[in-house]
């Protein structure tokens, strides 16, 4: 039976801050991945009892999803901001440099939760892996719209494939996360971004590097 009351104000109120607890869980998942993070790891970090976690968040899977949503809200705002920049050149530069700033923020775990959360996992964690894949696809889709709009508005040259360019930038961003997790410093990551941006100098001119008589700078 265990029927729920209509009045949620009744009874003993929660003794901990749910968002603070979610933040703590998020960091553990970020460091150890979904299946590497033990319930004990999580509750220790959240400074919460096992059953309190259970009552507040459901189970490990639900906890991860909620922590991930908080991660998106807290840490991935720079991507949304980057996509709103007026020119595609600024969109790319802002998202790449933003990624490096984000990754190298002192105190942040290595890499990004979207990739590190569940890249290759056992059967039990497969639903979470699939869920993350879908979210990454959605993110790519949002970015692609911005690039396609730039193509229509003439911000991107005639011979530029906006879909491929979107995925190229996404590939770089995800690669930066792996590099970071492999021990690259902020300066080294930023040098990678410099190289990528130098290569894309043609965006400033609205011309393609393979065009004849393309003058850069």
Interacting residues toward a second copy by CB under 8 A: 30-33, 35-38, 41, 109-111, 115-117, 119-123, 125, 133, 136-137, 140, 161, 163-165, 167-168, 170-179, 181-184, 188, 191-192, 194-196, 198-202, 208-217
Q: In whole angstroms, give the CA distance from residue 189 to residue 176.
A: 7
* Alpha carbons within 13 A on the beta-carbon side of 18: 13
Which residue number, 20 or 164, has a Cβ lying nearer to DNA?
20
Give min distance, CB of 72 to DNA, in A: 22
Options 35-43, 126-134, 140-148, 200-208: segment touching DNA (CB under 7 A): 35-43
From 20, 44, 59, 158, residue interacting with DNA (rule: CB under 7 A) = 59
Binding flag, residue 54, DNA (CB under 7 A): yes
Binding flag, residue 131, DNA (CB under 7 A): no
Options 10-18, 66-74, 107-115, 149-157: segment touching DNA (CB under 7 A): 10-18
Nearest CA-CA partner of 165 in 189, 211, 212, 200: 200
From 50, 80, 137, 211, residue interacting with DNA (rule: CB under 7 A) = 50
Give min distance, CB of 12 to DNA, in A: 3
SS3 content of the chain, % helix, strand, coil (to 5): 70, 0, 30
Nearest CA-CA partner of 116 in 93, 95, 135, 132: 132
Helix (H), strand (E) counts: the chain: 11, 0
Nearest CA-CA partner of 108 in 189, 166, 52: 189
Q: Pick from a second copy, DNA, none: which does 152 bind, CB < 5 to 8 A by kind? A: none
Binding flag, residue 5, DNA (CB under 7 A): yes
**Maximum pairwise Cα distance, the chain:** 78
Nearest CA-CA partner of 193 in 165, 174, 172: 172
Give the residues lining the site for DNA (CB under 7 A).
4-5, 7-16, 37-41, 48-52, 54-56, 59-61
């Amino acid at each position: 039976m265990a029927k729920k009351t209509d009045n949620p104000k009744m009874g003993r109120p929660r003794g901990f801050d749910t968002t603070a607890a979610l933040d703590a869980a998020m960091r553990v998942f970020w460091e150890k991945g979904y299946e590497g993070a033990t319930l004990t790891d999580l509750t220790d970090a959240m400074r919460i009892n096992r059953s309190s976690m259970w009552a507040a968040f459901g189970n490990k899977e639900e906890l991860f999803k909620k922590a991930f949503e908080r991660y998106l809200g807290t840490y991935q705002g720079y991507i949304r901001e980057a996509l709103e920049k007026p020119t595609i050149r600024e969109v790319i530069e802002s998202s790449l440099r933003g990624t490096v700033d984000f990754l190298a923020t002192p105190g942040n775990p290595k890499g990004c939760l979207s990739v590190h959360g569940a890249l290759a996992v056992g059967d039990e964690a497969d639903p979470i892996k699939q869920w993350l894949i879908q979210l990454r696809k959605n993110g790519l889709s949002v970015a692609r719209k911005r690039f396609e709009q730039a193509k229509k508005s003439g911000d991107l040259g005639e011979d530029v494939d906006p879909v491929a360019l979107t995925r190229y930038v996404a590939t770089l961003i995800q690669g930066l996360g792996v590099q970071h997790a492999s021990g690259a410093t902020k300066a080294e990551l930023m040098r990678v971004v410099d190289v990528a941006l130098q290569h894309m100098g043609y965006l400033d001119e609205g011309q393609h590097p393979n065009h004849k008589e393309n003058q850069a700078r």
